[in-house]
Each structure stands twice: as C-alpha cells, then as structure tokens.
Amino acid sequence: MIPKERVLDKLDSLLRANDYAGGKRLLQYWLSESECTGDRHGSLLMKNELMGLCRKLGEKEQALQYAQDALDLVGRMHIEDNVGAATTYLNSATVCKAFGLPEDALNLYRMAQAIYERDLSPTDDRLAGLYNNMGLALVDLQQFREADELYQKALTVLAALPQTEPEQAITYLNMATAAETEHGLTPAQPRIAELTEKAKACLEVGRDRTDGNYAFVCEKCASVFGYYGYEAYAVELTERCRRIYERA
C-alpha cells in the first residue's frame, strides 16, 4: 500500500509553493508504485489527483486520459455505486467540462449526484463542490434555471460550514457569469454588481488567511473581478496570492 496521507501532505506543500510540476512528478511516481504493487485504491487516488492537476495545467490529453483510466479502474474494482466512485465521476466530469465537453460532464455529474445525495450528509462540503461544478456545465448547455437552483443549494451547504467563505465567493461569481451568459452583460449588470459585491465580502472575511486553498481561490477569482471592472481589487487578490505562495 502506498502512503496515501504522506503523499497528499507532500502534494499540498508543493501546491502551496505553486510547484505544480513538482506535484505532478510526485503523483506520477506514486501512481507507478501503486500499479507495481497492485494497490488499486492507491492507483485510483493518484489518477484522481493527476486528472485534476493536469486540468489546472491545461494539459487536455493527459487530463482526459487520466479521467478515462480512473473510470475504467472503478469498473474493474466493482465499486461503481459507492462514494469513492462518485468522487471519480465528479472529478472526471470537471475535466470534461474544462475541455469543452459539457454534455459528457453533465452525465457524469448526475451519476455523482445520485450517490452523493443518497449517501452523504446534507451539509457535506462535497455536495457544494458538486453543485457548483454541475452548475457550470448546465450554464454551458443553457439550462439556467437548474444551474441557479444548484448554486443556491451550494450556498445553503456552505453556509452551514465554518470557513467556507472562499467557496461561497466562487459560487457568487459563478452566478454572476451565469447571469451574463443568460441575459447579456449590460442587461445583467445590476445582478452582476450585486453578486460580485457578495463575493468580495466573502473574500474579505478571510483576508488574513495564509493557506493554499485561499491563495488558489484568490488567484481564480482575480481575473473575474478584473473582467467585471474591479481592476484594483483584482490586483490586490493577485498580491495576496503571491504573498501566500512566497511564505510557503
């Protein structure tokens, strides 16, 4: 069995330092080790992490291949109906969505949704992640009403959990993008302004945080704020992100 917790701890430290290439090498090494030793659960974990990391790096072919390999492994392990499989469905769906395959993504999200809503607590943060990502695919497919319902569900889950303001900020910005996509930038401007202000308020709650997740969210949100006219705030978020990575 590969040392899963130790690998993930090391991965987290590399990502906090913005060393994505190092994180990828780490995961590929332990994927090889897990396959050599027949550790299927370890292999599945490494493939899930690798598909996500390759997605962030924009490596389409590798991300999609790791996603397909993970889905195939779920079948060979005969675990298609448990929470671990649902997480693989969700991660694979997110890869599909990122690379322009929203219909494939939505099918996988629905598979994950059926299992998560059956087996997880209603306040499990994995549900919020599912709803947010599924909403993005629905917006791509112009299914705006269902997307909004899922974003509202995500906010309900997150509001019940501590220190989830960064994730709430992402949800509000997703809703702003959905409003623009549905109605157009100018007609949706009042709604966009309302949602971006809510997102900003959420990020300000954690302005003194130094963890990698907060840095990642700041980096992700900065361009959206800049696009919607918050240029100075976008620069500030980028600077916060830089300071956190430098400390790491």
Per mean pLDDT, which range of 102-111, 207-216, 229-238 is the poorest? 207-216
On the question of pLDDT at 17 being above 90, the answer is no
List C-alpha distances in Å: 209 to 15, 160, 164.
Answer: 16, 20, 12
Element (H, E) at 101: none
Sign of CA dihedral 26, 59, 93, 124: positive
Which band of pLDDT confidence, cut at 50, 70 and 90, is reported for residue 246? confident
Q: Residue 92 corresponds to which amino acid?
A: S
Does residue 42 form part of some domain?
no
* pLDDT score of 11 more than 80: yes
- With cut-offs at 50, 70 and 90, classify the pLDDT of residue 14: very high
Q: How many CA atoms lie within 13 A of 194 on its CB side?
A: 7
- Model confidence, pTM: 0.89
Q: Is 89 within a domain?
A: no
Domain of 204 in residue numbering reads as 166-248
Tell me if 153 is assigned to some domain: no
**Tens-digit pLDDT profile for residues 140-162:** 999 999 999 999 999 999 999 99
Q: Please, are residues 131 and 153 in contact by the beta-carbon 8 Å criterion?
A: yes
- Split into its structural domains, the chain has a count of 1
**105 occurs within a structural domain:** no
Asked whether residue 37 carries a pLDDT value surpassing 90, the answer given is: yes
Residue 176 forms part of a structural domain: yes
Q: Quick check: 116 and 83 in contact, CB under 8 A?
A: yes
On whether residue 9 sits in a domain, the answer given is: no
pLDDT in tens, 180-198: 999 999 999 999 999 999 9
Q: What is the pLDDT of residue 131?
A: 98
Annotate 151-167 with b (16+ C-beta within 10 A) or e (fewer). bebbbebbeeeeebbbb
User: How far apart, in Å, do the first and last CA atoms of the chain sit?
Assistant: 29
Q: Are 171 and 132 in contact (CB under 8 A)?
A: yes
- Dihedral pair phi/psi, residue 55, rounded to 5°: -60, -45
Looking at the domain assignment, is residue 179 inside a domain? yes
Residue 155 inside a domain? The answer is no
Long-range contacts of 148-152 (CB under 8 A, 24+ apart): 148/175, 148/178, 151/175, 151/178
Across 100-120, average pLDDT? 98
Burial group, residue 199, by CB count within 10 angstroms (0-12, 13-18, 19+): buried
Q: What is the mean pLDDT of the chain?
A: 96
